């Protein structure tokens, strides 16, 4: 019995010495071999293995809290996580950002914190990009159908004649049929929605936003509202 206790104590001592050997300095955090979401925390030279919250990974470059979102972590370990997911009714993991909707409804995302989901909207015309954790042009988001999401289909473009020395246009501009203060840019057959300022509208003659008084396609009420906003801004600057 004494021999067994001695062996157990020896094994524990060897394990502790191996863990503590990972302390390069008396205080700090260090990666665990073969894992991306666990780490060694050293305090006064004593090491303790810890686990990041579900959905976060150990960030070796951090000078503060050692766990971060996967997009901010460069982990080349064989396995991405050590722990199993801890989903809730709101979230697939305790922490993380996740897109809501399908390829035709790409403008919302959910921020999960401690298993609770908080829903956010991207600015109008932009889609959530899960690869960058940012709201982006929908044509730059692989899992978003830009045309269905924006409700605008880019017309087919007639190729220009190479014999006449005409070069292909890189972008094509189209007014919105519903709002004179909005237009679409088609890039490689996929649209981007652009909104003008409140006192501006899309001018097809210059393919850009212009003073609303220079655009004849706006309805009378939109035009008047734009003029009123422009006048109010001029009055404000004059004070």
Summarize pLDDT for 23-68 with one digit per residue, the tens: 989 999 999 888 899 999 999 999 999 999 999 999 988 889 999 9
What's residue 234's pLDDT? 81
Nearest one of 205, 190, 125, 179 to 155, comparing CA atoms: 190
Cα–Cα nearest to 57, from 74, 34, 40? 74
Residue 164 has pLDDT above 60, yes or no: no
Per-residue pLDDT at 231? 85
């Amino acid at each position: 019995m004494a021999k067994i206790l001695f062996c157990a104590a020896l094994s524990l001592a060897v394990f502790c010495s191996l863990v503590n050997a990972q302390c390069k300095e008396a205080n700090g955090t260090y990666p665990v071999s073969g894992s991306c979401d666990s780490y060694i925390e050293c305090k006064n030279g004593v090491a303790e293995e810890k686990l990041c919250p579900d959905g976060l990974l150990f960030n070796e470059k951090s000078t503060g809290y050692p766990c971060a979102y996967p997009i901010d972590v460069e982990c080349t370990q064989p396995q991405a996580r050590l722990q199993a997911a801890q989903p809730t009714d709101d979230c697939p993991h305790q922490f993380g950002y996740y897109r809501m909707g399908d390829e035709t409804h790409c403008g919302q995302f959910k921020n999960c914190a401690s298993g609770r989901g908080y829903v956010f909207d991207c600015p109008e015309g932009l889609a959530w990009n899960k690869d960058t954790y940012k709201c982006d042009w929908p044509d730059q988001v692989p899992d978003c159908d830009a045309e269905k999401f924006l409700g605008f289909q880019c017309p087919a473009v007639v190729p220009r004649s190479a014999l006449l020395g005409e070069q292909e246009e890189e972008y094509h501009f189209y007014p919105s049929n519903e709002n004179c203060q909005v237009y679409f840019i088609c890039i490689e057959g996929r649209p981007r929605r652009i909104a003008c300022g409140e006192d501006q509208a899309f001018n097809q003659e210059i393919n850009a936003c212009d003073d609303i008084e220079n655009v004849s396609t706006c309805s009378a009420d939109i035009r008047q509202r734009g003029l009123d906003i422009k006048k109010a801004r001029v009055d404000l600057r004059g004070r």
